[in-house]
A and B are shown apart, each in its own frame.
Chain A
Amino acid sequence: GQQLNQSPQSMFIQEGEDVSMNCTSSSIFNTWLWYKQDPGEGPVLLIALYKAGELTSNGRLTAQFGITRKDSFLNISASIPSDVGIYFCAGYAGGTSYGKLTFGQGTILTVHP
């Protein structure tokens, strides 16, 4: 089946640093979504991207939909301790993929004060 390769798998950074993570796919996606999950909770939607080349911000978060439609990246600027968690990329292959997102493996982010 379709796979999303998300990297890096984990990151250990100092508070105030910027963070970058990305997802790549062997096939085209029509929509890219980025989620954050805290332990024992469900994923929380951060950003949604719908068009190739689209760049969208949500506070300190910025995400882009790659021009080839096979990749996306997420940047977090000036990280703070509450940014700790697991970040997932997810994509819709389109067509009749109702409700069916393909998820990356996740990036575990640790922020040291």
Chain B
Amino acid sequence: KAGVTQTPRYLIKTRGQQVTLSCSPISGHRSVSWYQQTPGQGLQFLFEYFSETQRNKGNFPGRFSGRQFSNSRSEMNVSTLELGDSALYLCASSLGGTNEKLFFGSGTQLSVL
């Protein structure tokens, strides 16, 4: 069974640009969650999607958005990039119930110059 797949693995952008990251969950998983990981703040929850609906959201500005497609694949978008958005962005999938185990992908390393 394939794991969670994130593309691309690495991205370099400049301030003001926007970026879209992609995540394919484990087959059969309908929930996708996104996290930001930085050395200073650690792992921070961005949002969670289930059946194309956002069910939960963390404390990030509106520049961070996401969506989920009918095949459970998800994308995350960051607009008007800032230097502080440089981070490892992780996607995790689960079956979608409460207190479910999350299975993470390898992440997308975003560098904003």
Contacts and interface: CB of A to CB of B under 8 A. Distances in A.
Contacts of A101: 43, 45, 102
Interface stretch (A11-19, A37-45, A53-61, A67-75): A37-45
B56 A96 contact: yes
A49 B4 CA distance: 22
A4 B56 CA distance: 20
B59 A1 contact: yes
Nearest to B33: A99
Contacts of A106: 42
B64 interface: no
B98 interface: yes
B56 A103 contact: no
Closest 10 CB pairs of A and B: A99-B48, A99-B33, A42-B104, A103-B43, A31-B99, A98-B55, A98-B56, A100-B45, A92-B99, A98-B48
A45 B50 contact: no
Interface string B74-103: 000000000000000010101010111111
Most chain B CB inside 10 Å of its own CB: which residue of A41, A42, A50, A95: A42
Contacts, number: 76
Nearest to A38: B106
Nearest to B55: A98
Q: Interface residue tally of chain B, by bracket? A: 20 to 34
Given A43-B90, A94-B99, A100 B56 contact: yes
Q: Size band of the A side of the interface?
A: 20 to 34
Central interface residue in B48, B59, B98, by most chain A CB within 10 Å: B98
Contacts of B98: 92, 94-98
B50 A43 contact: no
A102 B55 CA distance: 17
A35 B48 CA distance: 19
A62 interface: no
Contacts of B72: none
